[in-house]
Amino acid sequence: GQNIDQPTEMTATEGAIVQINCTYQTSGFNGLFWYQQHAGEAPTFLSYNVLDGLEEKGRFSSFLSRSKGYSYLLLKELQMKDSASYLCAVKDSNYQLIWGAGTKLIIKP
Amino acid sequence: GAVVSQHPSRVICKSGTSVKIECRSLDFQATTMFWYRQFPKKSLMLMATSNEGSKATYEQGVEKDKFLINHASLTLSTLTVTSAHPEDSSFYICSAPPIAGHTEAFFGQGTRLTVV
């Protein structure tokens, strides 16, 4: 079966750095996405990785290792507004998105 | 950028009634629309894929007669929850596939359905 694993919840301090990990086992791979979702709202796109390595976009970076079936999202200079759920999703061989359950990130002052 | 408009954002209905959720692509044509539901603290679960001009494709375990999907035009897809029950209470989100120049899907704002 297809599976995406992420930690359920993480806590970090305002101004700090946090890394959210994602491991996947899917039938094929056509890219990995990270989305941010605030409660009661639709997900918003953060990043996309299809090749191994690090993609940096402002305070957010995403890393991918296809051989390990592993990705992480790195958030720097955390702000209170970063409190949200972060969803990892993989596009499989049928180009269908398989979603993780999300990691709830709690930012403390 | 591409915008998908979904409404209503919140709806409360009585058991046994039907509720229609609309998703419109505002500045592009969407021949396909994905419909998801999401329970609290759970992942997005694909329910069905609507295709303009043909029947929707339902995921295993999703009742076709209960969740009616219609893709009436290149800019409108609807999900109707028929004979709603409290267990149908959930967050429903539509999503259009990426368009040229984009890798990410485009989501509607989501609909919080509460059946009482």
Q: What is the mean pLDDT of each run of 10 residues along chain A (109 residues)?
A: 92 98 95 93 93 96 97 98 96 88 95
Contacts across the A-B interface (CB distance below 8 Å): 41
- Asked if residues B106 and B2 have their Cβ atoms less than 8 Å apart, the reply is yes
Q: What is the CA radius of gyration of chain B?
A: 14
A84 closest CA partner among A48, A22, A41, A54:
A41
Please give the average per-residue pLDDT across B51-65, as a whole number: 93
Q: A99 contacts in B (CB within 8 Å)?
A: 43-45
Confidence at residue B1, expressed as pLDDT on a 0 to 100 scale: 64
B1-28 residue pLDDT tens: 678 999 999 999 999 999 999 999 998 8
Q: Compute the nearest-CA separation of B106 from chain A (Å).
A: 8
Is the confidence at residue B102, as pLDDT, over 90? no
Q: Quick check: A96 and B103 CB within 8 A? A: no
- CA gap B77, B82 in Å, rounded: 16
Is the confidence at residue B100, as pLDDT, over 90? no
- Asked if residues A42 and B3 have their Cβ atoms less than 8 Å apart, the reply is no
Whether the CB of B103 is below 8 Å from some CB of chain A: the reply is yes
Q: Compute the nearest-CA separation of B95 from chain A (Å).
A: 9
Confidence at residue B72, expressed as pLDDT on a 0 to 100 scale: 87
Q: What's the whole-number average pLDDT of chain B?
A: 93
Q: Quick check: A99 and B109 CB within 8 A? A: no
